[in-house]
Structure 1
């Protein structure tokens, strides 16, 4: 394995014991490779830019596996609370039968959107769009839906953006209001490619959308089935797998309190103060562990940046 180029990191990296580093590299590589349904190589073609630039907030947030795990769970909870999205996801995907595989593919698609070469990202998004165009149905209460409905796509994209940045802000590093604005603005081009009409440009605008959608969101047994699956499917490598139930609760806490109450997410899904501290330490530590097999590092190599570019001190 090529030794990481840590130039420009200002001493922020954590050097792990060799055996642990190898285990994490293997786990990260396996997760990415098993989700790679599009034969994307993040290190190629040399020099080709991504949909968002390397100096973006997005590149720094998406490199953090804790923020991605927590943010992804929070996003799916909000998506499954919308009846049409819930019917589309639960009725037309293999999440119930092969949850790990589904999570790998969803996670990989997010990585391609942020870190993949523009040509690869655009081709993957076109493929996803073709799949969405073939999915339609009727909700249990009789409402028709289509997976390519711009309104539904907008909700899905907005909730994903919300989950990732709120997880990073809560459990990795506090962000300024302008960081939120940059992040939401950076995602608008990709949202448009997916067919979403996502015009969220700030944290207050996202809060307003959640308030606006609150009345349309509803509790469901599917929410709790999803949480049970996520608590038990071995997403994280050993020994981190033992922390997975705690991390799931941390993700639930990202959902605004009023919406948690509306969805029936009771005190059972809350963390104790000491547990929040554990999750925050894990999030901060994971932001300083460089994995050469990660899409973030491979993308840096593609455009000629050092491996440690995204690990420079923030200020």
Structure 2
């Protein structure tokens, strides 16, 4: 039985939603334009994924020293990501509260989406507890606690409103293409990226998948559903040390000095 984020957050299967979360984030121009001008994550996607997940794991499972270290690292990375509005830019800042809220919202919604495809729907008590726990991931940085919607119903209103207004612009589409189709792929990328592209497209909301120009058909949909059913049959039966291996690796690599 899931009793909160601590029971769910270590599951490595949540990484299947990494591409979905990133594309949702960069579809917001306040995030996407900052990423395009200040990040090389398309060239080093594993570094970006590891940094993000190390932060999440430190908040949920880490010691106080680990949390201090990872918060310092994130703030240092965010410091140069800012630009004042001008004629050619709306402006952005990695410390902008609304941008941080959107990033946290994509992490939460993606984690719930993937988890429920593998383990089935959460009951209301567990879902409410996980939702409240997720606020800590934002407030451990600069997100004001009052910005996190009060409950899951309020979050649904916020989320649906954001999705309706969301449309990938040329900058976001370019960043997504560089991420999903690396120009000079290493061997592991050649092997992993077809599956990553497939899962990303399958997990995205329909309108955003179209906005990014990701190919999809009824055949893709049937294959995606079969993949999720197979994963739901196999993954929960894996030993916990396998299912939690990425969390253990990230925390083990986190230096606190």
TM-score (norm 2): 0.76
Name stretches of at least 5 consecutive residues in structure 1 with no aligned partner: 1-8, 10-54, 300-315
Q: Return structure 1 stretches of 4+ with deviation > 4 angstroms.
A: 232-236, 241-244, 295-299
CA distance in 2, matches of 1:244, 1:281: 20
The higher radius of gyration belongs to: 1
Residues 247, 78 of structure 1: alpha-carbon distance in 2 compared, 3 angstrom cutoff: same
CA distance in 2, matches of 1:242, 1:224: 17
Aligned: 1:211 with 2:160: yes
CA distance in 2, matches of 1:298, 1:259: 33
Q: 2:94 maps to which residue?
A: 147
SS of corresponding position for 2:40:
coil
Per-residue CA deviation, residues 211-268 of structure 1 (Å, 9 max, x unaligned), is 32232542423223322249x66669xxxx8575345323333332233344444426
Confirm or deny: 8 A CA contact 2:20 2:110 kept in the other structure: yes
Per-residue CA deviation, residues 11-48 of structure 1 (Å, 9 max, x unaligned), is xxxxxxxxxxxxxxxxxxxxxxxxxxxxxxxxxxxxxx
Q: 1:160 maps to which residue?
A: 107
1:214-233 equivalent positions in 2, closer than 5 A: 214-219=164-169, 220-229=173-182
State the aligned residue count.
240
Aligned: 1:294 with 2:221: no
Q: 1:133 maps to which residue?
A: 79
Confirm or deny: 8 A CA contact 2:18 2:49 kept in the other structure: no
CA distance in 1, matches of 2:152, 2:195: 26
Per-residue CA deviation, residues 57-111 of structure 1 (Å, 9 max, x unaligned), is 21232222122x2222211111110112112223222213322223222232222
Q: 2:9 maps to which residue?
A: 62
Residues 254, 148 of structure 1: alpha-carbon distance in 2 compared, 3 angstrom cutoff: same
CA distance in 1, matches of 2:30, 2:218: 25
CA distance in 1, matches of 2:77, 2:191: 35
Residues 177, 264 of structure 1: alpha-carbon distance in 2 compared, 3 angstrom cutoff: farther
Name stretches of at least 5 consecutive residues in structure 2 with no aligned partner: 251-257
Aligned: 1:123 with 2:69: yes
CA distance in 2, matches of 1:233, 1:201: 44
Q: 1:200 maps to which residue?
A: 149
Per-residue CA deviation, residues 274-298 of structure 1 (Å, 9 max, x unaligned), is 4422233325533332227836669
User: What's the C-alpha RMSD, in Å, of the aligned pairs?
Assistant: 3.4
CA distance in 2, matches of 1:203, 1:233: 41
Residues 297, 88 of structure 1: alpha-carbon distance in 2 compared, 3 angstrom cutoff: closer
Residues 247, 175 of structure 1: alpha-carbon distance in 2 compared, 3 angstrom cutoff: farther
Residue range with higher mean Cα deviation, 215-224 or 88-97: 215-224
Per-residue CA deviation, residues 138-185 of structure 1 (Å, 9 max, x unaligned), is 689421111111111111111111111111112343323443322121
